[in-house]
Amino acid sequence: MKTDISYARHLDSEDELSTYREEFYLSPDKIYFDGNSLGILSKRAKKTVEMLMESWKEYGIDGWSEGAYPWFYLSEKLGKMSAHLIGARPEEVIITGSTTTNLHQLTASFFQPRGKKTKILADELNFPSDIYALKSQLRLKGLQPEDHLIQVKSKDGNTLNTNTIIEAMSEEVAMLVLPGVLYRSGQILDMETITVEAHKRGIIVGFDLCHSIGSIPHQLSEWGVDFAFWCTYKHLNGGPGSVGGLYVNQKHFGNNPGLAGWFSSNKEKQFDMDHTLTPAESAGAYQIGTPHVLSAAPLIGSLEMFEEIGIARIRKKSLELTNYLMKLIEVELQEQGFFIANPKADELRGGHIYLEHPEAARICKALKAEGVIPDFRNPNGIRLAPVALYNTFEEIWKMVQILKTIMENKAYKNFENKRGVIA
């Protein structure tokens, strides 16, 4: 493989998505490879925040029903804009809550222990917040997590085996919750096979899409997935703490949500003020409270770009970027003790790569000192996410050269091998 900068520039010259880089506020003296943790602000997102601020200024309370984006229907509007990203019907998606609050809602709604089926199946590599939520939901139903939460083991500490997951689907499992893409290693789970096998055993299936939505295609409706949930501030570039999203398969419409609230209502009846809930005949039934309008506003602009481009084109470039990055690392850093711990096969790898190194924390600090923004994951992981919408092949080339210099000069030894408050 060619390792000179001219080849990287050649790849950039052939990039059909290159103009979208101009849509983002990028620092000229930084290379940002942390978009799988927090995406960069786009000009369109800034504009739509300003638009909704203006609607508040101009309309006051009438902003709920007036203006370009009436607030009363904003969650549904954004759900429709998101549906193509996960292969869902528009009415099956709603933008609401946060990752963890949505998981609480969905678990309260779908985990109904009966007879022998009293257990939840998860995994030992998932993001801790999901496990905290599942354990608390078990306790709320009078069940001890030690006995009723099964966590699938990993053989290598980074990936999960589909057959191992299937083997854990005992007759005692009522529901499973797994990530679509593992947050650490970036492995894509076989969501279709897992869903089919779980349904054969009468198990409700849910997926955490935080690290997959906006990065890889999904076909949740076609696969028959029961529910899913996600954040919108990573690959979707919705901003820090932006409103999350959830999906509920239409076969579950008409049921009361486990955690009901005013915005669970059928919108035609919501202002009847009846004390008996008539749930929305859509994923909207799983909303709880009033939409966080200003925190959802950036998504209008961001999701417009995803609609224009399509997830297939984003995925194509993402794979090209991560493949190029892995090959450069193998050539330029082969003597520096790095281990590529993410799956290398395209069909198994999400939107980032995951390097392991004993000095990972101080290497990340050294990179930041040189203007490269990576993501450290305790105890020895470095995540690097070249994002299709705004990163370039030349940036990858430059980052690898910076990292090579840091390692050869042992500049990382100037830093403590310990994470900061936020990794």
Residues 53 and 198 in one domain: yes
Residue 40 in any domain: the answer is no
Residues 292 and 406 in one domain: no
pTM for this one? Answer: 0.97
CATH number of the domain that residue 248 is part of: 3.40.640.10
Specify binding-site residues for pyridoxal 5'-phosphate.
99-100, 127-130, 208, 211, 233, 262, 290
Q: What is the 3-state secondary structure (H, E, C) of 271-295?
A: HHCCCCCCECCCHHHHCCCCCCHHH
Statement: residue 292 has pLDDT above 70: yes
Distances (CA, A) of 11 to 4, 253, 324, 386, 397: 12, 47, 10, 14, 11
Residues 275 and 160 in one domain: yes
Last residue of a domain, one of 261, 279, 308: 308
DSSP string, 184-244: TT-BBP-HHHHHHHHHHTT-EEEEE-TTTTTTS---HHHHT--EEEE-SSSTT---TT---
Q: pLDDT tens, 18-33?
A: 999 999 999 999 999 9
Residue 346 in any domain: the answer is yes
Residue 420 in any domain: the answer is no
CATH number of the domain that residue 391 is part of: 3.90.1150.10
Nearest Cα neighbor of 310 from 391, 238, 217 is 217
Cα separation of 120 and 113, whole Å? 9
Residue 349 in any domain: the answer is yes
Q: pLDDT tens, 330-351?
A: 999 999 999 999 999 999 999 9
Residues 378 and 291 in one domain: no
Residues 280 and 361 in one domain: no
Q: What is the mean pLDDT of the chain?
A: 97
Q: pLDDT tens, 345-381?
A: 999 999 999 999 999 999 999 999 999 999 999 999 9
Q: pLDDT tens, 393-422?
A: 999 999 999 999 999 999 999 998 887 777
Residues 328 and 241 in one domain: no
Statement: residue 62 has pLDDT above 80: yes
As given in the structure block, the two tokens for residue 316 are 């194509």
Determine the pLDDT at residue 419.
77
Statement: residue 222 has pLDDT above 70: yes
Statement: residue 79 has pLDDT above 80: yes
Residue 39 in any domain: the answer is no
Statement: residue 322 has pLDDT above 90: yes
The enclosing H or E element of 315 equals helix 311-332
Residues 273 and 364 in one domain: no
The label of the residue with tokens 């003020």 reads 273
Last residue of a domain, one of 308, 333, 354: 308
Last residue of a domain, one of 308, 342, 374: 308
The total number of structural domains in the chain stands at 2
Residues 220 and 295 in one domain: yes
Statement: residue 135 has pLDDT above 90: yes
Residues 289 and 316 in one domain: no
Distances (CA, A) of 346 to 109, 172, 181, 189: 35, 35, 13, 12
As given in the structure block, the two tokens for residue 21 are 């880089």
Statement: residue 423 has pLDDT above 70: no
Cα separation of 133 and 121, whole Å? 13
- For 330, the domain range is 5-32+311-414
Residue 38 in any domain: the answer is no
Q: pLDDT tens, 229-287?
A: 999 999 999 999 999 999 999 999 999 999 999 999 999 999 999 999 999 999 999 99
Residues 171 and 220 in one domain: yes
Written as one letter, the residue type at 21 is: R
% of the chain at pLDDT higher than 90: 97
Statement: residue 226 has pLDDT above 70: yes
Q: Count CB atoms within 10 A of the CB of residue 236.
A: 25
C-beta separation of 45 from 301 below 8 A: yes
Specify binding-site residues.
99-100, 127-130, 208, 211, 233, 262, 290
Residues 217 and 119 in one domain: yes
Residues 297 and 332 in one domain: no
Residue 423 in any domain: the answer is no
Residue 333 in any domain: the answer is yes
